[in-house]
Amino acid sequence: MRGKVKRMHRHIIAAWLAFVLAACGGAVKSGSDARQDTIEDTAVDTHIDQPVDAPEDSAEEPTPDITVDIAPDAEEDTATDPTPECGTHGALMWGICWYLGSPGQDCYEVCGPHGGYHEDTPEYVGTPSQGGSIEECGAILDALGYSGTVSDGYRDDGRGLGCHRWNDGALWWLHTPDFDPGDSMDPSQAVCGCNE
């Protein structure tokens, strides 16, 4: 944080100096030649002067004027989403609630009651060009209670089913075509990332 102190009172400086001296044990190290000098019986002026513009009989302690500039990167990020709470049968991984749809459902249908489809889903269950992987697909299926070997496959009909479970229990991840949350197929259960 960048800041400028416009005016500071002597009692603050005196208290700070007393603290530094106590912390150093009375020894001060010179910066340039690194020799050590001992401070003996140094008297610290702890007299508090009233500011020039305050009346001398004022009962209130004066408040120092301080101007503080806050760097843009030091401000709090108020746009950060809280960690979602997943519904029944959901698994939370990477800040996304994952669900296994019913046969024939696409991810928009699966995620409708769960706060909608999460836009980062392809980064986990999509093709390598989308950022997904067979390992992430397997980890999600395992978290959903479906352990087993995930087979790497492709479809030549253009349906981007991504990470899914077939009706016979087989687990699949497609490296092509790209995952499409709107694609579905009756015997396939889509692995879908939702907001809740």
Backbone angles phi, psi at 26, to 5 degrees: 85, 0
Eight-state DSSP code of residue 144: T
CA distance 76 to 33: 42
The band of 6, judged by pLDDT with boundaries at 50, 70 and 90, is very low
CA distance 135 to 174: 12
Question: How many alpha carbons fall within 13 Å on the CB side of residue 120?
Answer: 7
Q: What is the dihedral of CA 60, 64, 70, 74, to 10 degrees?
A: -70
Eight-state DSSP code of residue 112: G
Instruction: Looking at the structure, tell me whether residues 124 and 169 fall in a common domain.
Output: yes
**Distance of alpha carbon 44 from the chain centroid:** 47
Q: Is the per-residue pLDDT at 81 higher than 50?
A: yes
Instruction: Looking at the structure, tell me whether residues 35 and 66 fall in a common domain.
Output: yes
Which residues, other chains included, contact 72 with Cβ-Cβ below 8 Å and sequence gap of 6+? none
Q: Is residue 169 part of a domain?
A: yes
Q: Is the per-residue pLDDT at 160 higher than 80?
A: yes
Instruction: Looking at the structure, tell me whether residues 34 and 128 fall in a common domain.
Output: no
Q: Is residue 156 part of a domain?
A: yes
**Three-state DSSP state, 10:** helix
Backbone angles phi, psi at 149, to 5 degrees: -80, 130
Q: Is residue 76 part of a domain?
A: no
More confident residue, 94 or 51: 94
Q: How many domains does the chain have?
A: 2
Least reliable range by pLDDT among 36-40, 60-64, 149-153: 36-40
- Identify the domain containing residue 148 by its residue range: 91-194
Eight-state DSSP code of residue 3: E
0.85 exceeded by pTM: no
Q: Is residue 78 part of a domain?
A: no
Instruction: Looking at the structure, tell me whether residues 95 and 186 fall in a common domain.
Output: yes
Instruction: Looking at the structure, tell me whether residues 66 and 99 fall in a common domain.
Output: no
Q: 6, 66 in Cβ contact below 8 A? A: yes
The band of 84, judged by pLDDT with boundaries at 50, 70 and 90, is confident
Instruction: Looking at the structure, tell me whether residues 108 and 155 fall in a common domain.
Output: yes
Q: Is the per-residue pLDDT at 59 higher than 80?
A: no
Eight-state DSSP code of residue 24: T
Least reliable range by pLDDT among 63-77, 113-127, 176-190: 63-77
Instruction: Looking at the structure, tell me whether residues 122 and 42 fall in a common domain.
Output: no
Q: Is residue 81 part of a domain?
A: no
Q: How many helices (H) and strands (E) does the chain have?
A: 4, 10
Q: Is residue 95 part of a domain?
A: yes
Q: Is residue 85 part of a domain?
A: no
Instruction: Looking at the structure, tell me whether residues 148 and 98 fall in a common domain.
Output: yes
